[in-house]
């Protein structure tokens, strides 16, 4: 490297007592050999090397977003489970208290005015094993779906799937059977994952096998709401299809409108089922249907 004119009066920016004929190829400031590092093109000063490293780290962070809604949902489910345990004083028998009884999905109690049950049932779990299986499924399936759709559309998908399970239980289930668990919404995420994989032309066989095994599991073991699972699966698949297909420019807005239309249809189905029960009065021990 040749020494530029005026090198005898040029000093290092970090060491003013050191004359130098070298400059940083990035910022063009004079630097002594101790302050220069080899780069892909020429020599760069230590300040430019450090700035470049920070830029690379920020770029990687932007290219690798993290899920936020899924961990929040898991935290809510765990917190509600802890609440039911504190209410009953038992980890295994956490369904006997007022918290669980006041939030589980019972169609006749919804018809009596407990509309919050259409959502709260999705955050209640029957024992720690039920909670563990659902939260593991939510973590591994939900993260991919959230990163693919974004936080807003994922939240809408999850809520619609949960309501889809509620509507299926309300319309087709036993009026007095209590249902609880996040499985309905998680089945909606399973259906959404299949849609997204098909949309991206990726193999969806593994996801479909997981759905099939869970349906068989729902049919085989007692106490599991097949209706809640299937309702969430159908609605989640439909909502994800609306969000994934269509004109690219208007797809996000159209997908949200389709989801809104599906939610309105579900609410209408629940209202009609409510009206079919007639006048319902629930006490602490039983529900009574009037004329």
Residues with a known catalytic role: 183, 229
Of 229, 278, 221, 233, which is closest to residue 107 (Cα–Cα)? 278
Measured CA to CA in angstroms, residue 174 lies from 74, 109, 160, 225 at distances of: 29, 12, 22, 11
Residue of 168, 177, 178, 165 whose CA lies nearest to 101 = 178
CB-neighbour burial class of residue 101 (10 A; exposed 0-12, middle 13-18, buried 19+): middle
């Amino acid at each position: 490297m040749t020494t530029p004119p005026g090198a005898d009066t040029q000093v290092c920016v970090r060491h003013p007592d050191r004359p130098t004929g070298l400059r940083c190829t990035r910022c063009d400031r004079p630097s002594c050999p101790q302050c220069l590092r080899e780069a892909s093109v020429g020599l760069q000063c230590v300040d430019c090397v450090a700035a470049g490293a920070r830029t690379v780290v920020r770029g990687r962070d932007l290219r690798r977003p993290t899920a936020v809604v899924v961990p929040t949902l898991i935290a809510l489910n765990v917190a509600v489970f802890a609440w039911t345990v504190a209410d009953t004083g038992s980890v295994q028998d956490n369904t006997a208290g007022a918290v669980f009884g006041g939030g589980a999905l019972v169609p006749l109690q919804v018809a009596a005015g407990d509309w919050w049950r259409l959502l709260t049932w999705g955050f209640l779990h029957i024992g720690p094993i039920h909670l563990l299986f659902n939260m593991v499924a939510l973590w591994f399936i939900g993260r991919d779906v959230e990163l693919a759709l974004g936080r807003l559309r994922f939240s809408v998908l999850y809520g619609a799937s949960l309501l889809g399970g509620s509507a299926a239980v309300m319309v087709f289930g036993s009026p007095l059977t209590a249902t609880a668990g996040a499985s309905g919404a998680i089945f909606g995420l399973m259906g959404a994952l299949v849609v997204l994989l098909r949309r991206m032309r990726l193999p969806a066989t593994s996801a479909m096998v997981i759905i099939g095994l869970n349906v068989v599991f729902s049919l085989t073991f007692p106490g599991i709401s097949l209706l809640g699972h299937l309702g969430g699966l159908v609605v989640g698949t439909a909502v994800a299809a609306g969000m994934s297909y269509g004109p690219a420019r208007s797809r996000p807005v159209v997908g949200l409108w389709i989801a809104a239309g599906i939610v309105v249809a579900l609410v209408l189905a629940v209202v009609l089922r409510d009206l079919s029960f007639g006048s319902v009065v629930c006490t602490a021990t039983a529900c009574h249907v009037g004329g």
